[in-house]
């Protein structure tokens, strides 16, 4: 079946969102608000079209995984956003308004993400959604945000469906999964000369997007996966996947999953064969390094933001200062750096609007032809482009548990 047109796809999304708009919203087990020192917003009655805008503050909302196997991703994304908001608030806010974040735990489950987003928009009355984590959860949350016309900012996913130019309330920060998998296959084939590549993936829209991107990248080179294995989201049931990958005897394995099952699979496969492993950025690099320990040496991970401990990069130095000021004991990570960039992107949109803040103004301030410069990290949007960055970096995990950026892969089976 051929792909639907952007207009048709948008019509389906709007129809589904409208269908669910009247659903009762279940409360989350973990909820909270963060302001970096400001008084938390209360769920008052805000009747204006653009909710979440007050004389002294503007309120954003986040539904993400703060419990379960993917909780490190949600917690660090939130940490980075709050560090950026705290930095702005300490400087007086944006046009006299402090920034606040209301957040709810979805446990990396789609139903909870949809219900949370309904709650954030219609009960908490947030101005915009920011920092959703995951493809299936972002798909569910987006339905609600799109129906309400709320900006959907910097989701932690590279899914293609959110890059449809017809979705003009979506503002992606990161490169897509197709761009990441293209970079993986390019480096594996050109640097190492490998052709026998298998795929390990999460069996949902996230994993299937990574699988599809890998297949397309291989087909462009006259290749196809030699094998594949999958696991179900929020489980550690990887035994069957490991069996199929080992049976295929690949030279390399591309990993499209979260840190716990990815680490488990790497360790199990290495007991029998020794391929090159390369993981997509969503894995949660810091958590993966901790899960693997000394077994992580030599693992490659594609990234969509710079090295979080390289203070020679201006935006990273600024991030490190903001993180230390907000939570002194926190260690830098790729995920919280992406959250910080998401927060800074929100601040850029607010700054471009002045005091007359509306959804349309906020979106247009970011999607103007001019680039958004965040201390040298440039984001370029446009009328037909809702993705700011195309950057993909390849990193290698060392024996010291730290990542370093590499331009060329070395070694291999």
How does pLDDT run across 343-386, given as a tens digit for each residue?
Answer: 999 999 999 999 999 999 999 999 887 789 999 999 999 888 99
Range of the domain at 155: 6-174+313-379
Q: Is the CB of residue 81 less than 8 Å from the CB of residue 343?
A: yes
Q: Is the CB of residue 131 less than 8 Å from the CB of residue 155?
A: yes
Phi, psi of 202 (to 5 degrees): -80, 130
352 and 297 within one domain: no
CATH number at residue 36: 3.40.50.2300
**Does residue 385 lie in a domain region?**
no
340 and 398 within one domain: no
**Does residue 410 lie in a domain region?**
no
Total structural domains within the chain: 2
pLDDT in tens, the chain (413 residues): 333 333 344 343 333 443 333 333 333 445 677 754 433 333 333 344 578 999 999 999 999 999 998 899 999 999 999 999 999 999 999 999 999 999 999 999 999 999 999 999 999 999 999 999 999 999 999 988 988 999 999 999 999 999 998 898 999 999 999 999 999 999 999 999 999 999 999 999 999 999 999 999 999 999 999 999 999 998 989 999 999 999 999 999 999 999 999 999 999 999 999 999 999 999 999 999 999 998 899 999 999 999 999 999 999 999 999 999 999 999 999 999 999 999 999 999 999 999 999 999 999 999 887 789 999 999 999 888 999 999 999 999 999 999 999 999 986 55
Q: What is the pTM of this model?
A: 0.88
119 and 132 within one domain: yes
**Does residue 128 lie in a domain region?**
yes
DSSP code at position 195? -
244 and 95 within one domain: no
Distance from C-alpha of 10 to C-alpha of 121, rounded to nearest angstrom: 20
How does pLDDT run across 63-112, given as a tens digit for each residue?
Answer: 999 999 889 999 999 999 999 999 999 999 999 999 999 999 999 999 99
217 and 269 within one domain: yes
**Does residue 189 lie in a domain region?**
yes
Distance from C-alpha of 153 to C-alpha of 132, rounded to nearest angstrom: 8
Q: Give the closest residue to 412 by CA, choosing from 188, 114, 163, 167.
A: 188
Alpha helices in 355-404 (DSSP H): 359-366
190 and 125 within one domain: no
Distance from C-alpha of 278 to C-alpha of 286, rounded to nearest angstrom: 15
Distance from C-alpha of 354 to C-alpha of 351, rounded to nearest angstrom: 6
217 and 205 within one domain: yes
Write the CB contacts of 335 (distance below 8 Å, at least 6 apart in sequence): 72, 73, 76, 77, 80, 156, 284, 285, 286
| Exposure string over 239-261, b if 16+ CB within 10 A, otherwise e | eebbeebbebebbbbbbbbbbbb
How does pLDDT run across 191-216, given as a tens digit for each residue?
Answer: 999 999 999 999 999 999 999 999 99
Structure tokens at 316: 């990273």
208 and 182 within one domain: yes
């Amino acid at each position: 079946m051929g792909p639907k047109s952007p207009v048709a796809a948008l019509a389906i999304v709007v129809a589904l969102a409208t269908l669910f708009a009247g659903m009762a919203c279940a409360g989350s087990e973990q909820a909270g608000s963060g302001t970096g020192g400001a008084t938390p917003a209360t769920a008052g009655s805000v009747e204006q079209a653009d909710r979440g805008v007050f004389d002294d503050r503007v309120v954003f909302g986040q539904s993400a995984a703060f419990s379960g196997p993917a909780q490190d991703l949600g917690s660090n994304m939130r940490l980075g956003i709050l560090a950026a908001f705290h930095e702005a608030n300490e400087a007086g806010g944006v046009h006299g308004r402090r920034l606040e974040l209301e957040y709810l735990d979805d446990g990396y489950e789609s139903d909870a993400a949809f219900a949370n987003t309904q709650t954030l928009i219609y009960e908490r009355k947030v101005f915009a959604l920011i920092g959703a984590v995951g493809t299936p959860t972002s798909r569910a949350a987006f339905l609600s945000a799109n129906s309400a016309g709320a900006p959907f900012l910097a989701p932690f996913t590279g899914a293609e469906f959110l890059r449809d130019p017809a979705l003009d309330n979506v503002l992606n920060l990161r490169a897509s999964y197709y761009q990441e998998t293209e970079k993986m296959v390019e480096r594996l084939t050109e640097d190492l000369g490998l052709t026998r590549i298998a795929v390990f993936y999460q069996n949902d829209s996230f994993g299937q997007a990574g699988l599809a991107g890998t297949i397309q990248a291989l087909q462009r080179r006259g290749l196809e996966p030699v094998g594949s294995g999958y696991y179900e989201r929020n489980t550690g049931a990887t035994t069957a996947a490991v069996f199929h990958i080992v049976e295929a005897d690949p030279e390399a394995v591309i990993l499209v999953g979260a840190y716990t099952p990815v680490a488990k699979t790497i360790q199990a496969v290495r007991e029998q064969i020794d391929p090159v492993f390369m993981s997509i950025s969503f894995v949660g690099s810091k958590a993966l390094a901790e899960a693997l320990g000394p077994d992580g040496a030599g693992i490659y991970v594609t990234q969509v933001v710079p090295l979080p401990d390289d203070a020679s990069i201006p935006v990273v130095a600024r991030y490190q200062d903001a993180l230390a000021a907000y939570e002194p004991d926190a260690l830098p990570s790729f995920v919280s750096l992406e959250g910080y960039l998401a927060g800074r992107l929100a601040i850029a949109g607010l700054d471009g609007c002045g005091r007359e803040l509306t959804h349309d103004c906020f979106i247009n301030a970011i999607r103007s032809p001019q680039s958004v410069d965040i201390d040298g990290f440039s984001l370029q949007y446009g009328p037909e482009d809702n993705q700011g960055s195309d950057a993909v970096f390849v990193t290698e995990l060392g024996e010291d548990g730290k990542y370093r950026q590499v331009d060329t892969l070395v070694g291999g089976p």
